[in-house]
Amino acid sequence: MRRKSRATLLSFFTTLLIFTPIFLYIFRDTFSGETIHLPPTTTPLSSSNNLVHLSYLIEEEDLLHLNSSSSSISQVSIKDSLPDSILLPDWEVLYITKESLSLNTFDIDDHHQYMCVFQNNATSVAEFTGSLRNSKRFTFKCDVPVSVRRLRPLLSPILTNLNETWPETMGSNWPEMLRWNYLAYESLPTENDVVLFVKGVNNRQGVNRSPEEFNCVFDNGVNYSVKTIVTSSSQEVFRCYHPNNTENSRLFLNGDEKVRVSLEIKEKQTIVPTVAYYTSNKKQIEREDTTYSQLCACTMVHNVGKFLKEWIVYHSKLGVGKFILYDNDSDDDLGKVVQELVLDEEYNVEIVNWPWPKTQEAGFSHSAIYAKGSCKWMMYMDVDEFVFSPSWLNATAPSSDMLLSLLPKTEISSSLSPSASLPPSLPIGQIYIKCLEFGPSNQQSHPIAGVTQGYTCRRRIENRHKSIVLLDVIDHSLQNAIHHFRLKDGYRVKTLRLNEGVVNHYKYQAWSEFKAKFRRRVSAYVVDWNQKMNPMSNDRTPGLGYEPIEPEGWANKFCEVNDSRLKELTQRWFSLDSSATSGSKLAWQD
């Protein structure tokens, strides 16, 4: 009887294994509330020039997928007709359109008309997120539906409009999504070389593989590729030579080829998947702004629209001539705020679309090259950080030389070599400014008059520092620790004394504001607050656990010193009422 029972049980499970996939397929819509069925294609794809048809009228041989097992140059080639999809953390997809599409292709005024359609016909809303400067391609973001997440392989979605139709099947050769943790994602040419940004090769902080382990690979998608030597490997930044003139002529044979660039790992004979494009040194990126500033400010931002005007108005009056914002996936109408600052109030503000998650160091490395033509010194700070000097307290008005007065008085030769005759004290190439960290100051929401007015209670001891660096003397590797850079040999750093200058860092704000930062750690080497790692790190907030739950007594935390110096100073400088009372509006208030 026991043997018969075992046989019966085995037969039952065998039958279950055979018929369960069929049952789930037939009734798949019953178990997924995310699936939306749209009409099947009723007209040939070639009959229309709309977005979907432009993007997906492709031949089977064009469906090439870049993955970590690539072993030949030909596998880098991607035809012009294929978009890219990247699987980001938190089950998001960054969809990058094909080349040569104009903005007129998209009706972006209606942000909810585009959809990502996945392999099981599940859909999610696709939001337009901007364009990539170097390749002039457009980007959308959408979520991966729950019903898709367990599927393997995980195929790229189709971008479509609810008013359009698409093929009923993606076909057996449809490409998988690229993985964000292993990808060449951006490139930038200089006069002498190419800067390439690659995720997943140098993964550990302070541990960089030798540049001799790599080549840069340039491919135009029409059976011509070139390799060049890598000269630097640091963090996510790799530098390599341009192809020579003859090779460039072949890469850009007809003048309109789309040349991708990636990194070859010699030992494994593999090429990192890439969405990065190469612009030769003869085809430098066109800069809209040709002005030159002694001092600029650069920061990476996410949903800082309501804080931005205060930060820009304040620092502009103290000497910052240009602001460069690396926009890391904001969805709070940042563009409208900047447009008002630029057009209505004539501030020099530029947005660089930077959709890549946890790449603050890489973004600042990019800026150090990108801004050299328009900036001499660069201040790296966040929009909740304000430079302040006690020596300004008696000034009746701000002046444009206040920040410049913190910098070295003598000119520095950027051509100084390590073997050159050096002065008794090495020239200063970077200024460190210590931070004073302000707490919630009993605020329950964002102060209507701005952070300088609402937060006046801080910790006693300064922590960390921010920097102002001379761009010409940044080391070739572009290595940085978020807010300061490694310098070329022959230059030194000066740290300001507290009576010379400090940074008021409005770090611990009202809980409603602070919790928005919980999942937005943008540095590649800083652990997210919800990960149970490095509990004693200075990057962690004292008393805050691993979940966005307000600690008891948050409103009064970090209050050891009452410090209203900058509050009183800004009231005097920026009040729109000549009486300068505490109740008058300030220049950044609407």
Determine the Cα–Cα distance for residues 92 and 144; give it in Å rounded to an integer.
Answer: 6
Query: What confidence score (pLDDT) does residue 577 get?
Result: 75
Determine the Cα–Cα distance for residues 301 and 383; give it in Å rounded to an integer.
Answer: 8
Query: What confidence score (pLDDT) does residue 522 get?
Result: 61
Which residues does 431 contact at the CB level (< 8 Å), separation at least 6? 406, 407, 467, 468, 469, 493, 494, 495, 496
Query: What confidence score (pLDDT) does residue 103 get?
Result: 59
Asked whether 436 and 503 are in contact (CB, 8 A), the reply is yes
Determine the Cα–Cα distance for residues 282 and 244; give it in Å rounded to an integer.
Answer: 11
> In the structure encoding, which two tokens stand for residue 359, read together?
């790449």
DSSP per residue, 349-365: EEEEE---TT-HHHHHH
Per-residue pLDDT of the chain (590 residues; tens, 9 = 90+): 444 444 444 454 444 444 444 334 333 333 333 332 222 322 222 222 222 222 222 222 222 222 333 323 333 333 445 689 999 988 999 999 886 565 556 655 554 578 999 999 999 999 988 888 877 789 999 999 999 999 999 999 998 887 665 555 566 678 899 999 999 999 999 999 999 999 999 988 889 999 999 999 999 888 899 999 999 999 999 999 999 999 999 998 877 778 999 999 999 999 999 999 998 765 554 454 568 999 999 999 999 999 999 999 999 999 999 999 999 989 888 999 999 999 988 999 999 999 999 999 999 999 999 999 999 999 999 999 999 999 999 999 999 999 999 999 865 444 444 444 555 689 999 999 999 999 999 999 999 999 999 999 999 999 889 999 999 999 999 999 978 999 999 999 999 999 999 999 999 999 888 887 766 556 565 555 555 555 545 554 565 655 667 888 989 999 999 999 999 999 999 998 755 555 689 999 97
Query: What confidence score (pLDDT) does residue 583 get?
Result: 67
pTM above 0.85, yes or no: no
Query: What confidence score (pLDDT) does residue 52 get?
Result: 29
Which residues does 217 contact at the CB level (< 8 Å), separation at least 6? 73, 76, 225, 226, 227, 261, 262, 263, 264, 271
Is it true that domain 293-407+426-574 has CATH number 3.90.550?
Answer: yes
**Strand order from edge to edge, sheet including 225-234:** 183-189, 193-199, 237-241, 225-234, 214-219, 260-265, 270-271
Determine the Cα–Cα distance for residues 220 and 6; give it in Å rounded to an integer.
Answer: 62
Query: What confidence score (pLDDT) does residue 423 get?
Result: 57
Listed by start position, the domains of the chain span: 84-179, 183-283, 293-407+426-574
Query: What confidence score (pLDDT) does residue 136 get?
Result: 78
3-class state of residue 251 by DSSP: helix
Determine the Cα–Cα distance for residues 236 and 462; give it in Å rounded to an integer.
Answer: 30
Which residues does 67 contact at the CB level (< 8 Å), separation at least 6? 176, 178, 179, 273
Among 2.60.40, 3.30.70, 3.30.1300, 3.40.630, name the CATH number for the domain at 183-283.
Answer: 2.60.40
Asked whether 330 and 303 are in contact (CB, 8 A), the reply is yes
Which residues does 23 contact at the CB level (< 8 Å), separation at least 6? none
Asked whether 71 and 269 are in contact (CB, 8 A), the reply is yes
Other C-beta atoms closer than 10 Å to the C-beta of 570 total 23
Query: What confidence score (pLDDT) does residue 494 get?
Result: 96
Query: What confidence score (pLDDT) does residue 533 get?
Result: 52
Query: What confidence score (pLDDT) does residue 514 get?
Result: 83
